[in-house]
Amino acid sequence: MKRSRHQHTTPGGMNRRDFVRLGAAAGIGAGMIALDRAAFAAVPEGLGPAPEMPFAAPPIENVRIGYVGVGGMGTSHVRNLLGIEGCQIVAVCDIVEEKVANVQKMVEEKGFPKPTGYSRGERDFERLCAEEDLDLVYTATPWAWHVPVCMSAMENGKHAATEVPAAYTLEDCWKLVEGAEKFKKHCVMMENCCYGRAEMQILLMVRQGIFGDMVHGEGGYLHDLRELKFANAGEGLWRRKPTLERNGNLYPTHGLGPIAQCMNINRGDKFDYMVSLSSQALGMELFADDNFPEGDPRRDEKFSNGDYNTSLIKTAIGRTIMVQHNCDSPRPYSRINMLQGTRAITQGYPDRIYIEGRSPAHTWEDLEKYREEFDHPLWKQLGPDAGGAGHGGMDYMEDYRLIKCLREGLPLDMDVYDAAAWSAVGPLSELSVANRAQTVDFPDFTRGRWQTWQPLGLVEA
């Protein structure tokens, strides 16, 4: 008979540096942490105002790239970049020498010079950043290395791009913002879901007024990753660890990013405060019981992260957003993708829409019905080029736009303030969960500039 285990979750693994860095009153008692809302939202001492205009660097004719972390996701990005005009992979770094060699071969087979390889251990990216003549350092490492790689890049005069999430402590969110402003470099979180065809169609419809005023959004990352987390290779080598140690919304940006762009977060509105709560942590332990033999150490692991996390955000001008996370239960994939306006509503999985005055009364319509009329220009122009690229082509779109903006000296579609605000949901959710869903305030990483910065336009090829 299979064992049945019940585990009471413990407070999430908040980084203690956040309390010191942000001046919070850290008093632990009865499993809770005393919150000082103003302290958690405070601007770090000595940090002045944010720039008056979104940052744009001088144009770069040929973007020289150093890539750090070339497992599955990193190699996929390299493959995209090899097909985009105006960039070159000059250096590649990974702790596994064979992965470095594989990318070097890929680059040479495309007719480029062999990139310099770096594989002398987990901090060899620092040597790459210091020694190589590069414009951009792009990383797809495990989460814990995103901030160290980005900071090393900027400190050595390079722009930085990272896979998601950009950071998972408030201290590190601020560190990226401070670094980008100090060194005058881009630091972008590559949120591919902002470039999905449905998401970009919806953004176009929002910009054209089809939805009226934005009222509410719902997004999430609902993806059964139990088998991946327990694997003895690939992401399984590191992705189980946060589930063991933390309790909150560990991966918020996929569902949140497209909503934030439609709601003009950091460009006319901002995240103001949030609450968060988690269910019990049962799914990972049950999976281990069902799939591993007696004596396997994975059967004895105790997980902190609740199977289901729900976080609710209120924005400065009064909108609401729900963000959910569930990677430890049997379920089909979903990011929810729901937006409610005063004139229309859309929801994903399956993609559907209701437009007041156009749709049959009280009846969903297939979103694709409106594709010809509202297909985003980026997809109209680049759709064929994205065929076969990762995640339905959205990975190619994000890589293309990054290189185009760097080559033309344009502000990026997503900037360091977006990276910080979207990623901050993670640590703030942990604080709220640990305090019985108490309200926690968002730092204003823009320091008031959200009131004057203009919304993201309709980007094109």
On whether the CB atoms of residues 45 and 70 are closer than 8 A, the answer is no
Res 387: pLDDT: 80
Residues 129 and 241 in one domain: no
CATH number of residue 97's parent domain = 3.40.50.720
My answer on whether 203 and 278 are in the same domain is: yes
Taking Cα atoms as reference points, which of 299, 187, 301 lies closest to residue 244?
Answer: 301
Answer whether 191's CB lies under 8 Å from 322's CB: no
* 363 and 441 share one domain: yes
Order of strands across the sheet that contains 63-68 = 116-118, 87-93, 63-68, 136-139, 159-162, 187-189
Residue 458 lies in a domain: no
Which position has the token pair 């942990």? 430
| Average pLDDT estimate for 219-240 | 97
> Average pLDDT in the 359-378 region?
98
Span 171-191, mean pLDDT?
98
pLDDT at 25: 31
177 and 199 assigned to the same domain: no
pTM of the entire predicted model: 0.93
Buried-state track 330-357, b at ≥16 Cβ within 10 A, e below 16: eeeebbbbbbbbeebbbbbeebbbbbee
Domain boundary among 192, 219, 246: 192
The whole-angstrom separation of Cα 402 and Cα 406 is 6
**Distance of alpha carbon 156 from alpha carbon 78, whole angstroms:** 22
Query: Is the domain of 174 the same as that of 320?
Result: no
| Residue that finishes a domain, picked among 167, 192, 217 | 192
Instruction: Tell me the CA end-to-end span of the chain in Å, nearest whole number.
Output: 59
Residue predicted with more confidence, 26 or 196: 196
Same domain membership, residue 214 and residue 295: yes
265 vs 260: CA distance, rounded Å: 5
- Residue 160, pLDDT > 60, answer yes
Distance of CA 416 to the CA centre of its chain: 12
**Residue 26 has what pLDDT?**
31
pLDDT at 131 over 60: yes
Is 6 inside any structural domain? no
Shared-domain flag, residues 209 and 118? no
Q: Is 155 helix (H, G, I), strand (E, B) or coil?
A: helix
Mean pLDDT of the chain: 93
Do 314 and 267 fall into the same domain? yes
Q: Could you tell me the pLDDT band of residue 124, with boundaries at 50, 70 and 90? A: very high
Residue 392 is assigned to a structural domain of this protein: no
Instruction: Give the distance from CA 342 to its chain's centroid.
Output: 28
pLDDT of residue 186: 98
Tokens 């994205």 sit at which residue?
386
Instruction: Give residue-wise pLDDT tens across range 83-110.
Output: 999 999 999 999 999 999 999 999 999 9
Whether 9 is covered by a domain: the verdict is no
Q: Is residue 50 a part of any domain in this protein?
A: no
CA dist., res. 237 & res. 326, Å (int): 20
Q: Where are the alpha helices (DSSP H) in 59-214?
A: 72-81, 97-109, 125-131, 146-155, 170-183, 197-207
Quote the percentage of the chain above a pLDDT of 70.
Answer: 92
Q: How far is CA 365 from CA 339, 351, 396, in A?
A: 15, 9, 29
pLDDT of residue 40: 72
CA dist 360 and 177 (Å) reads: 47
Average of pLDDT values for 185-210? 98
pLDDT surpassing 60 at residue 358: yes
Distances (CA, A) of 460 to 231, 259, 285: 40, 19, 46
- Given 192, 223, 252, the domain boundary residue is 192
pLDDT of 19 reads 43
Question: Would you say residue 335 lies in a domain?
Answer: yes
Residue 460's pLDDT is: 85
What are 334's strand-pairing partners?
222
Helix 197-207 to helix 377-386 angle, to the nearest 10 degrees? 170
Nearest-angstrom CA–CA distance, 182 and 421: 19
270 and 375 inside one domain: yes
Q: Exposed, middle or buried, 31 (CB in 10 Å: 0-12/13-18/19+)?
A: exposed
Confidence (pLDDT) at 38: 66
Q: How far, in Å, are 137, 151, 176, 286 from residue 162 at the CA level?
A: 8, 11, 11, 33
102 and 75 in a common domain: yes
Q: What is the domain count for the chain?
A: 2
Angstrom distance (rounded) from CA 218 to CA 313: 10
Q: CATH no. for residue 234?
A: 3.30.360.10
Q: Is residue 173 part of a domain?
A: yes
pLDDT of residue 32: 56
Strands 320-326 and 214-222: parallel
**What is the rounded CA–CA span in Å between residue 441 and residue 421?**
12
Tell me the pLDDT tens digit for each residue of 413-455: 999 999 999 999 999 999 999 999 999 999 999 999 999 999 9
pLDDT of residue 66: 99
Domain holding 165, by residue range, is 63-192
What HEC string does 239-258 produce?
CHHHHHHCCCCCCCHHHHHH
- 125-152 as b/e: b if 16+ CB within 10 A: bbbbbeebebbbbbbbbbbebbbbbbbb
253 and 345 fall within a common domain: yes
- State pLDDT tens for residues 2-61: 444 444 333 334 443 444 343 333 333 334 555 676 677 789 998 999 999 999 999 999
In this prediction, residue 29 carries a pLDDT of 32
Q: Phi and psi (nearest 5°) for 445?
A: -65, -20
Mean pLDDT across 179-198 = 98
Per-residue confidence (pLDDT) for residue 24, from 0 to 100:
34
pLDDT value, residue 27: 30
Would you tell me the crossing angle of helices 394-408 and 72-81 to the nearest 10 degrees? 50
**Residue 138 and residue 86 share a domain:** yes
State how far the Cα of 143 lies from the Cα of 106, in Å rounded to an integer: 25
Residue 342 lies in a domain: yes
Tokens of 263: 């709601």
